[in-house]
Amino acid sequence: MEKFIEAKDITFSYVNEMEEPPVKTTVFENLSLDIYKGEFVAILGHNGSGKSTLAKCFNAINIPQSGEVLVNSMSIRDQEKLLDIRQCVGMVFQNPDNQIVATIVEEDVAFALENMGVEPAEIRRRVDESLKTVGMYEYREHAPHKLSGGQKQRVAIAGILAMRPECILLDEPTAMLDPKGRREVLKTIKELNKNSGVTIVLITHYMDEAVQADRVVVMDSGRIVLDDKPKKIFSQVQKLKALGLDVPQVTELVYTLNADGFDLDPEIITEDECVDALYELLKK
């Protein structure tokens, strides 16, 4: 597969200027990670593990003190490439209200395009197409503040989509949503990845979201401690718990049953797989 984002031995630190003397905190040191074109990657880790800081390095919001980040072969240190990188890698944050700037849905989706100098006819086409992609076209003339959390987040995603990014970074986009809103947003993310080939990097605390990714990266204290397919990651129940992370409920059930002497595949991560396995177990 073709590499799309390459982080090579990057080190990033924050300096708290409010302290006297200023206090330097290193988030990660000499960290490397590749994201491949068309992948759906979930990044997990407890608060303070460095996952959000890392994601912001992927579209030049953060610039590491050392090491290199390449986005589609462009260095995030190249100021002349900054606009190209931001158009190439869009970012959706936890709170959609922080990204919605207009009083009408379609005007919000058009906002970035207008600032980019895109022709009006092309703006109209992209706005309509993006809203249809996320299932929000019928709400195009609505006021964003009257929408549900899930609908607002889908509008925020539409605003990024209109810029035609090849990759979307999502920093806990469902953290503030109810279960219905979470399902809506995740369905949209998966469709963008599978149907449109958009590379997805999803930071989440929800294990049921991570199991739907192609690949899961687990961070702890600024280090990448696990990087594999979801089945391989979530079968390591004890290690994940030691890192302060949960596992999917299905995996927890299988782990508990195996601890009680049953013989189930530890790599079961979906409800359907679990139902089938339990059915075969009961038949015996």
CATH number at residue 203: 3.40.50.300
Contacts of 38 (CB under 8 A, 6+ apart): 1, 193, 197, 199
Is residue 102 assigned to a domain? yes
Is residue 155 assigned to a domain? yes
**pLDDT (tens digit per residue) in 79-96:** 999 989 988 999 998 888
Say if residue 17's pLDDT is above 90: no
Average pLDDT over residues 212-222: 95
For the chain, give the mean pLDDT: 92
Is residue 160 assigned to a domain? yes
Is residue 172 assigned to a domain? yes
Say if residue 207's pLDDT is above 80: yes
Place of tokens 């990448």: 224
- Amino acid 284: pLDDT: 74
Domain count, the chain: 1
Is residue 185 assigned to a domain? yes
Is residue 106 assigned to a domain? yes
Is residue 114 assigned to a domain? yes
Residue 165 to residue 108: CA distance in whole angstroms: 17
The DSSP element (H or E) to which 54 belongs, if any, is helix 51-57
Is residue 174 assigned to a domain? yes
- Amino acid 199: pLDDT: 96
Per the structure, the complete domain to which residue 142 belongs is given by 39-64+82-230
Say if residue 19's pLDDT is above 80: no
Q: What is the pTM of this model?
A: 0.89
